[in-house]
Amino acid sequence: MRKGQSSLSSRQEEVHQRSHYPSLDWPVVAMAKEFPARTRCGAHSHKRAQLLFAVKGLMVAHTAAGTWVVPRGHALWMPANLTHNVSMHGHVAMRTAYVRASEASLLFPECRVLKVGALLQAALIALADEARGLSRTARTGHLIWLVLDEIKRAPSMPFVLPMPEDGRLARLAHSLMADPGSARTIDQWCDVVGASRRTLTRLFRAQTGISFGDWRRRLRLLSAAARVADGEALAEVAASLGYRNAAAFRTMMRRYSSEYFPDLTEQVKAGRASTP
């Protein structure tokens, strides 16, 4: 990957699926799926809401409203009929659940990344096994309602890069996603997009819910997580993201990623982030 390039928007091989889930009139249909590293599913949507649970690897989902990063042990909730494109970083094993409209209406109206507890994980894996038999049993029903209840209880995680609606800010966001390590200051970005510093900072917070500085820091963290999952050396990632040395990068990682991205943090603790 070239210096500064974001793994959140890198080119990948597209994998087409003939059918995303079997035609079963169950409230929730779960499937077990695996994808090779550096592949993506292509833009598509579903008539049902969807929960994407990462058992292994890391997924990045793109929609018009933003980009969501799903590390192992987490799941992405998406409402029905939302066009999305999911890319795989590292070998991805997932359990994906498709939720019928009447049940989905009782859950969340927008995308969100959820922390998956042990009970929800076990229920999703078991329900996917049930779907292979294509016949609903009493156990299937119990698992379905358990999955729905646990989705509702799962805590949300801040693994999203919300996109601003203002055209100037959207251009800025896309430019930074293409080059997260850009050294341009906020004042320089103001000159590029043609907005005052006050306007840029006010609109960015109003339209994304976070400050420009926090958005940029989150972009670098999420991009680093995806690139490490792709097998890049942490020292190389740190240098390309604009950190003057690996120690500064390790400090940021410990502060923001120890709970959320265990694979990445393990590399930091192992000392593999040597000074570039």
- Model confidence band, residue 180 (pLDDT cutoffs 50, 70, 90): very high
Give pLDDT, residue 12. Answer: 64
Where a domain ends, among 111, 139, 157? 157
Give pLDDT, residue 165. Answer: 93
The DSSP 8-state label assigned to residue 227 in this structure reads H
- Model confidence band, residue 108 (pLDDT cutoffs 50, 70, 90): very high
Range of the domain at 181: 163-269
- Examine the domain organization and report whether 33 and 141 are in the same domain: yes
Coil, helix or strand at residue 52: strand
Where a domain ends, among 157, 181, 216? 157
> Domain total for the chain?
2
Q: Could you tell me the pTM of the whole model?
A: 0.82
- Examine the domain organization and report whether 148 and 170 are in the same domain: no
Question: What is the per-residue burial (b if ≥16 Cβ within 10 Å, else e) of 10-30?
Answer: bebeeeeeeeebeeeebbbbb
Instruction: Calculate mean pLDDT across residues 230-235.
Output: 84
d(CA 44, CA 23): 18
- Examine the domain organization and report whether 104 and 43 are in the same domain: yes
